[in-house]
A and B are shown apart, each in its own frame.
Chain A
Amino acid sequence: MRQTKRTMMWYEFYQDANIEEHLEAMAANGWKLEKIGFFWHYRRAEPARVRYSVTYFSESSEFNPSPTENEETLREYCAAAGWDFVAGWHQMLIFSTSREDAPPLETEGTVKLEAVHRAMKKNFLPSGFVILALFGFNLAMQLRLAERNLPSFLADGVQLGAALLILLLVCHLVWILCSYFLWYRDAKRSVEQGGPCPKRRSRFARARQTVLLAAAASVVLFMYIPAAVSVGRGTVKGLLFLLCGYGFMGVVIQLVRRWLRHRGVSAWTNRIVTIVLAFVLGTGIIGGSVFYTLWVHKSVQPGGEDTETYITSYGSEWQLRRDPLPLKIEDLQPIEALPWSYELTEHWSPLASLQEGRQVEYENWESLDYEIFDVKTDFLYRACLRNYLGTEELVGQRWLEYSAADETQWGASAAYRLSIDGEEMDTWLLCRNRRIVKITFDWEPTPAQMALVGKTLLTGA
């Protein structure tokens, strides 16, 4: 029979009532809490009716080499009142007692509220705000990218997946911080009126955590990983490198912190070493994953069957690709026998897909560029079309804008032509169903060429 058990803690750090009820239920089922951390460790014991009490002590820390003198004093008072210390985690201390007559750890609302808030200000609140600020800034940057180029953002599953994961984390942080401050406001009101300091309990804590984890896992499994796979093996390996690197970093930091603690190094020294180590390892891992991704990409292309190296007459080196483009210049008109490169890049997400096609020759820089964007819903289609059609200011107060063009020549349901400061360019936007094609020619296309482009790119024929 299993003697030990490890579980995840489904409750927030500050939800003392939930934690106490959970531990009491575990004790009644024959599992006694031994140690707390990322996982909570239990040891098998006789099922017993045990009372647990959670308190918060601002001086407690994961960095202290041993409990401070004041924490020892508190534990001593608790022992005198019949409460045994069980485990501690950051500023949280857990006590238990089998005595029915043991008084509660806290008997005065104002004093309890002050102690809890002091402990929360030590770690939980500052770290919560710092993480929220960092990830909030990251999310704002992602939204800025989405605003600038919505189709590209929606079709990039890796970026969209990362943005969704960050959004989940930000929502979670906002929720727990708001929940804490709402509790603090109510508790302050209660104790000011002479009432007790209410326990913090959430009936949906476990359900909320489960939904959050399931949502994060779904984003990773159904968006992040398939999108990374669709981009290529370099991206997948880079992501794996990043994930393993973060896991390695977490383990190393924990081990170093524990080792320093074991050696009796002061809390401040331990804290500084841990922060420096986290910064160095974090920077190394991010830099390493970028270099690794680039290295894998680079190592794949030259050896690839469809790639060859070409040196132009003016001495620059290019990789000529032979990707299967849906439309080539030679489909539209005869071309010179020059070293053409056929480049197709595909992006995918569950919401949209984007194919970027480019046929180019590097001697005279003649090219045909187009992108085929497909989106899954009408709402997103309208938003993306608005994004494509958005007027843009170029350097030197030159204005780039699209105006409606004759769609019948293309076989499209709508067509728009680009102009810069009123001068028409050879760039068009073509729409049909929920597909948008943006195409740029090096020449003015003929009606026959327009019809062929529409037939090939808008219908996939």
Chain B
Amino acid sequence: MAREKFQTLTEQMFYILLSLREELCGADVMARVAELTDGRVIIGPGTLYNLLESFLNAEMIAETAAEGRRRSYRITAAGERALLAEADRMETLLADYRRLGTGGERV
């Protein structure tokens, strides 16, 4: 069920998982994603909380440390597989786009 839920990743899911390649505490993920994307991808705290819970339930991330309520997470092998699958999917999209020729001009 979890696999079906995360069959494709949204931009925010993708960057949360990517940022957790290094151990981070939950609250720091927001700043890390903003930094990784130069502020292009912003994650709200409510969305972050719910996504971290879902990733934990799907075992795509694991809790690595807990100091009081400050909990740190890191991506798991399942999370890496999801990232890889998403990267492959995007590469396929990009390859199809290039193979069929670019139809428009960059504005």
Contacts and interface: CB of A to CB of B under 8 A. Distances in A.
Interface string A39-55: 00000000000000001
B30 A108 contact: no
A111 interface: yes
Interface string A92-136: 000000000001111110111011000000000000000000000
Interface stretch (A67-75, A161-169, A262-270): A67-75
B49 to A, nearest CB: 5
B43 interface: yes
Contact of A76 (B12, B27, B53): B27
Interface in B52-75: 53-54, 69-71
Given A73-B26, A76-B27, A108-B12, A83 B69 contact: no
Interface residues of A, number: 24
Contacts of A81: 30, 44-45
B17 to A, nearest CB: 14
A108 to B, nearest CB: 5
B18 interface: no
Given A76-B27, A110-B10, A83 B45 contact: yes
Contact of B44 (A69, A70, A79, A107): A107
Given A80-B27, A104-B44, A108-B12, A114 B49 contact: no
Contact of B45 (A69, A72, A78, A110): A78
A10 interface: no
A376 B7 CA distance: 67
A107 B26 contact: no
B45 A80 contact: yes
B27 A77 contact: yes
Contacts of B43: 103, 107-108
Contact of A112 (B10, B47, B54): B47
Contacts of A110: 10
B69 A108 contact: no
Nearest to A107: B44
Nearest to B53: A70
Given A73-B26, A80-B27, A110-B10, A105 B69 contact: no
A111 B6 CA distance: 12
Interface centre among B31, B46, B51, B54 (most CB of A within 10 A): B46
B30 A72 contact: no
B86 to A, nearest CB: 15
Contact of B42 (A55, A79, A80, A103): A103
B50 A114 contact: yes
B70 to A, nearest CB: 8
Interface in A221-274: none
A105 B31 CA distance: 14
Contacts of B47: 105-108, 111-112
A105 B12 contact: no
Interface of A: 55, 69-70, 72-74, 76-81, 83, 103-108, 110-112, 114-115
19 contacts: A55-B46, A70-B53, A73-B26, A74-B45, A74-B49, A76-B26, A76-B70, A77-B30, A78-B46, A80-B27, A80-B28, A81-B44, A103-B43, A103-B45, A108-B44, A108-B51, A111-B46, A111-B54, A112-B47
Interface of B: 10, 12, 26-28, 30-31, 42-51, 53-54, 69-71
Closest A-B pairs by Cβ, 3 of them:
A77-B45, A80-B27, A107-B44
Given A79-B27, A108-B12, A114-B50, 17 more contacts: A55-B46, A70-B49, A70-B53, A73-B26, A73-B69, A74-B49, A76-B26, A77-B30, A77-B49, A81-B30, A103-B30, A103-B43, A103-B45, A105-B45, A107-B43, A108-B10, A111-B47
